[in-house]
A and B are shown apart, each in its own frame.
Chain A
Amino acid sequence: MSQPALYERLVFKNASVYHYLKIYLILDNDDRKINAVYFKQMIISALRDLYGEIGAAFPFDVLKFEEDTLTAVLRVYNSGLVKLWTALTLLGSYQSEPCAVHVTQVSPFLLALSGNSRELELD
Chain B
Amino acid sequence: MFTNLEKCPRNLLVCEKSSLLNDKSRHATHVAKHFFNYKVSVLIPECGITPSGLKSVFNSFSKYYLLRNLPVYKLLEEEFLEKVVKKGSLYALSYKTRIDQDNTFALLPSGQVILSVDKDTYEELGLEGKASQYNHRQPMRYVVTLDMTDKSLAPGGKRYKRVMWALQEKVQLTSDFLMARYSIGGNGEDLLQSIFSQYSCRELRPSMSTQSLRDLLCPSLDPTDLHGDSRSCDPLQFLEWLGAVTMDMSCNNEASSFVSTYCCPEPQSSASQALLCTAVGLLLPEDIHSLLEELRRYFDEPRFTSWLSVTVHGFADSPVSWGATEHGFHKGGENFYTFVLFKNQDYWLHMATGTNDGCPP
Contact = CB atoms under 8 A, between A and B. Distances in A.
B227 A112 contact: no
A108 B11 contact: yes
A73 B249 contact: yes
B95 A5 contact: no
A14 B218 CA distance: 25
A13 B7 CA distance: 14
Nearest to B260: A61
A4 B247 CA distance: 33
B95 A62 contact: no
B10 interface: yes
B259 A37 contact: yes
B18 interface: yes
Interface in A49-100: 51, 54-55, 59, 61-65, 73, 75, 78-83, 86
Given A9-B15, A82-B8, A4 B260 contact: no
A32 interface: no
B244 interface: yes
B271 interface: no
Contacts of B10: 13-14
A40 interface: yes
B257 to A, nearest CB: 9
Interface residues of A, number: 56
A23 interface: no
B304 interface: no
A50 to B, nearest CB: 11
Contacts of B22: 4-5, 7
A11 B17 CA distance: 12
A12 B12 contact: yes
Contacts of B243: 20, 109-114
A92 B347 CA distance: 48
A9 B247 CA distance: 28
A30 interface: no
A27 interface: no
Interface stretch (B55-63, B147-155, B329-337): B329-337
Contacts of B25: 7
Interface string A95-123: 00000000001111111111111101010
Contact of A5 (B5, B224, B316): B224
Range class of the B interface residue count = 35 or more
B41 interface: yes
Contacts of B344: 1-2, 4
Nearest to B22: A4
B174 to A, nearest CB: 17
B1 interface: yes
B137 interface: no
Contacts of A81: 8
A108 B235 CA distance: 13
Given A62-B259, A122-B204, A8 B17 contact: yes
Nearest to A121: B96
Contact of B244 (A13, A63, A65, A108): A63
Given A112-B313, A122-B66, A11 B338 contact: no
B16 A110 contact: no
Interface in A4-30: 4-20
Given A59-B261, A115-B41, A73 B334 contact: no
Contacts of A110: 239-240, 243-244, 247
Interface string B1-38: 11001111011111111110110110000000000001
B313 A117 contact: yes
B313 A115 contact: yes
A42 interface: no
Interface string B328-352: 0001111010100000111000001
A114 B280 CA distance: 11
Given A7-B17, A8-B226, A115-B336, 15 more contacts: A5-B18, A5-B19, A7-B16, A11-B359, A20-B243, A37-B258, A61-B261, A64-B248, A78-B8, A109-B11, A109-B334, A111-B311, A112-B332, A116-B332, A122-B66
